């Protein structure tokens, strides 16, 4: 994500600091080019030198918010940790970062989530990037015999579903009384030990066909 | 949940049908005694014969909404299904019911969720009841050697966390593109095969101490 450091980049970085200050003071709705120009004491035409549209401004805000999370994922994928540690680092370090950010400034954190809700396509790009990194770890785990009988995509989808309270910030907030690092590590362990195809040939699953269990008992 | 069937009960049941009709027409905010009296063509004093307060009305609405889910849980607990089928029935039949209700009338379903948000203490009672039933299944599973090294409470908490997209209706709606019965059964299978204590004596866990993995790698 690093770009060559120019005066323009330095100006953008300063303005993004100012955006956070604005959000803290006046909430997510304050993220507009005119509010930012006013706060920076710039003319509207001057602000366009840094961000050519409201959407470009939001994309920069999102990049700033996601950058440390992306770095955590990149580092986890590239690390030579054992698979269980790698997955725990991948999910756990992001979880700890989000939780601590939330606890330090709950209103600011919620304002960022609100901004994300209003720009779902940009956020979707980062979610897809996360899935891409997770797929790389899943492929490494499969080489060691984990997730027998499952495809990479299916495994990524099931892991994402089972880790929702540690990944999804809204859910993390709602379940704040229950989620912690130790439970996260136990969930990762559960997935690594237990996730496999249900009825593929050669699997040793104990789960029978799902249909009888879903009929009235 | 069944009560002796009296004229008063019959009157209440009819009025609760009318409440659903009101919600369908005018949303969750329409659930008040005066709106209901108007819709039923009753005097306000007459409606108090059936529901003595707005809160009593909401509790009856909640009981009507939760009754079939409670029945599913009771039936699953009492069944002589194998543990994997029992857990799949416990979560899966509720999931299918909620999903189908949502898909049939999304706005009505969301209005019920809104009502629940406004009466969290009543809803909490049903969540605790669900935990109570789940604890009974977990105890049965432990007798068969599942979840080694874990307490019942810890196991219930971890299962609830890992099943969030299939239990929590808001999350189910958000992840509607991804959740289905087959993934639910695979998640149950994963939990049953993989959930165990991390570092208790005698466990064969592959998860190491969580701390190193959470440090910068």
- pLDDT tens digit sequence for B68-121: 999 999 999 999 999 999 999 999 999 999 999 999 999 999 999 999 999 999
Which of A61-75, A133-147, B10-24, B199-213 is the least confident region? B199-213
Q: Hey, is the C-beta of B86 within 8 angstroms of any chain A C-beta? A: yes
What the block records as the tokens of A178 is 């229950």
Burial grade of B10 (CB within 10 A; 0-12, 13-18, 19 or more):
exposed
Which has more pLDDT, A99 or A206? A99
B141 to chain A nearest CA, in Å? 13
Q: Is B214 in contact with A93 (Cβ distance < 8 A)?
A: yes
Q: Which element (helix H / strand E) includes B91?
A: helix B83-104
Residue with the bigger pLDDT between B35 and B207: it is B35
pTM, whole model, 2 decimals?
0.90
CA distances from A165 to A130, A146, B211 (A): 16, 23, 20
Residue B214 CA, chain-centre distance (Å), reads 33
Measured between CB atoms, which of A92, A188, A210 is closest to B185?
A210
- Mean of pLDDT values over A143-152: 96
Residue B92 sits at the chain A interface (C-beta within 8 Å): yes
What gap in Å lies between CA A194 and CA B92, rounded to an integer? 19
Q: Is the pLDDT of residue A123 over 50?
A: yes
Residue B81 and residue A217: Cβ atoms within 8 Å? Answer: yes
- Least Cα separation, residue A210 to chain B (angstroms): 6
Q: How confident is the model at residue B214 (pLDDT cuts 50, 70, 90)?
A: confident
Give yes or no for residue B205 having a pLDDT over 50.
no
Exposed (0-12), middle (13-18) or buried (19+): which is A177, by Cβ within 10 Å? exposed
Q: Count of residues for chain A?
A: 217
Is the predicted pLDDT of residue A143 greater than 90, yes or no? yes
Asked if pLDDT for residue A70 goes beyond 60, the answer is yes
Handedness of CA B62, B63, B64, B70 (dihedral sign): positive
* Site of tokens 């029935």: B89
ipTM of this complex: 0.89
**Residue that wins the pLDDT comparison between A16 and B207:** A16
Cβ–Cβ gap A194/B193 under 8 Å: yes
pLDDT confidence tier of residue A202, bands split at 50, 70 and 90: very low
List of chain A residues whose C-beta atoms are within 8 Å of the C-beta of residue B171: 164, 168, 171
Residue A1: the pLDDT is 47
Statement: residue A211 has pLDDT above 80: no
pLDDT at B66 over 80: yes
B175 touches chain A (CB under 8 A): yes
How is residue A173 written in tokens? Answer: 């907030």
**Could you report the per-residue pLDDT of A73-116, keeping only the tens digit for each?**
999 999 999 999 999 999 999 999 999 999 999 999 999 999 99
Q: Tell me the shortest Cα–Cα distance from B156 to chain A, in angstroms.
A: 11
**pLDDT > 60? residue A21:** yes
Q: Mutating which of B128, B186, B208 best tests the A interface, going by the most A Cβ atoms within 10 A? A: B186
| Partners of residue B210 in chain A, C-beta under 8 Å | 88, 92, 181-182, 184-185
Measured in degrees and rounded to the nearest 5, phi and psi for residue B119 equal -140, 60
Check residue A201 and give its pLDDT: 39
Indicate the average pLDDT of chain A.
91
Higher-confidence position of B99 and A2: B99
What's the pLDDT at B200? 45
Q: How far apart are CA A73 and CA A67, in angstroms?
A: 10
Backbone angles phi, psi at B38, to 5 degrees: -60, -45
CB of A208 less than 8 A from some CB of B? yes
Question: Looking at residue B147, what DSSP letter applies?
Answer: S
Task: Say yes or no for a CB contact (<8 Å) between B213 and A161.
Answer: no
């Amino acid at each position: 994500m690093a770009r060559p450091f120019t005066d323009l980049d330095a100006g953008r970085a300063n303005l993004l600091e100012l955006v956070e200050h604005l959000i803290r003071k006046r909430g997510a709705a304050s993220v507009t080019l005119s509010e930012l120009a006013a706060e920076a004491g710039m003319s509207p035409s001057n602000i366009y030198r840094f961000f050519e549209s409201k959407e470009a401004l939001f994309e920069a805000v999102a990049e700033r918010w996601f950058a440390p999370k992306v770095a955590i994922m990149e580092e986890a994928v590239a690390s030579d940790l054992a698979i269980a540690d790698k997955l725990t680092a991948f999910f756990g370090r992001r979880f700890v970062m989000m939780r601590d950010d939330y606890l330090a400034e709950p209103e600011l954190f919620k304002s960022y989530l609100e901004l994300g809700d209003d720009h779902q396509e940009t956020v979707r790009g980062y979610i897809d990037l996360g899935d891409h990194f997770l797929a790389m770890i899943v492929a490494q785990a499969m080489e060691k015999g984990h997730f027998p009988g499952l495809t990479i995509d299916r495994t990524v989808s099931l892991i994402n579903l089972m880790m929702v309270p540690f990944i999804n910030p809204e859910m993390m907030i709602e379940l704040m009384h229950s989620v912690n690092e130790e439970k996260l590590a136990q969930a990762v362990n559960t997935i690594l030990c237990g996730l496999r195809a249900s009825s593929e040939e050669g699997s040793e699953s104990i789960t029978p066909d799902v249909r009888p269990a879903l009929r009235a008992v």
